[in-house]
Structure 1
Amino acid sequence: MYEDVSRLDRLRSVREWLAWQLRRTDDTIAELERQDVAAARTARTLPPPTPGWKLTMRRAGGKPTPDSVHTSGCGMAGQNTRPLAREQALRAITEDGVPACPYCRPDTDLGVL
């Protein structure tokens, strides 16, 4: 049966199959490019990452004073907090004498021990 098909017909069949494969490849490339554009757009619109540390404040005589340094996920920090960058948290613990939370241990994450 294979011998009944001319060489020209076989080559045309191969060409059709290759054209089909090329269309599929082009469609896949186009889809991946759309995904890259969408990912880049999402990356531009996402909020900046939250700092890894936060500082709890307490009111002493009407003036807020630093109470303790926590990791960003610590549940012991309470409501009155402000975010800290790594350098700020490190300075608060080492230079300013603000104690580290004994539960989340931000000093361990910061390498202060």
Structure 2
Amino acid sequence: MSEQVSRLERLRSVRQWLAWQLRRTDETIADLERQEVAAARAARTPPPPQPGWKLAMRRAGGTSTPDAVHTSDCGMAGWHTKPLAREQALRAITEDGIAACPYCRPDTDLGVL
């Protein structure tokens, strides 16, 4: 048995649905605006400076031992590296006896020579 719904009730249902759609649209717009603000903030924030040096690690027998100090852009360092601050790189070369890479010559940049 079907009941007849008045035109007024149908229009109120349509209005309710449209109001719901409008709220969803407003929420989506607000989300997108927040994302744009966050993206603009991230674009204005410079990335942290890369350390100027890295320590290449030699892996053997399940352990890692220091191999050589490299500049941060040296391609000879391999995959297993640790970033170093200037003071750490200086100490590694001068006090710890870790070799400087013969290709990128971090000792020259550090003023060790």
Q: TM-score range by the shorter chain?
A: 0.5 to 0.7
Give, in whole Å, the separation in 2 of the partners of 1:44 and 1:51. 21
TM-score normalised by the chain length of structure 2? 0.59
Tell me the equivalent position of 1:75. Answer: 75
Q: CA deviation at 1:47?
A: 2.5
Q: Secondary structure at the match of 1:76?
A: helix
Q: Secondary structure at the match of 2:76?
A: coil
Percent identical pairs in the alignment equals 82
Could you say what the CA RMSD is over the residues aligned between the two structures, in angstroms?
1.6
1:95-110, aligned counterparts within 5 Å? 95-110=95-110
Give, in whole Å, the separation in 1 of the partners of 2:44 and 2:82. 25
**Which ranges of structure 1 fall in alignment gaps of 5 or more residues?**
1-40
**Which ranges of structure 2 fall in alignment gaps of 5 or more residues?**
1-40
For the pair 1:60 / 2:56, whether they are aligned, the reply is: no
Change (3 A) 1:101 1:45: same
Which consecutive aligned stretches of 4+ in structure 1 deviate over 4 angstroms post-superposition? 41-44
Tell me the equivalent position of 1:90. Answer: 90
Q: CA deviation at 1:42?
A: 5.6
Give, in whole Å, the separation in 1 of the partners of 2:60 and 2:42. 43
The aligned amino acid for 1:89 is A
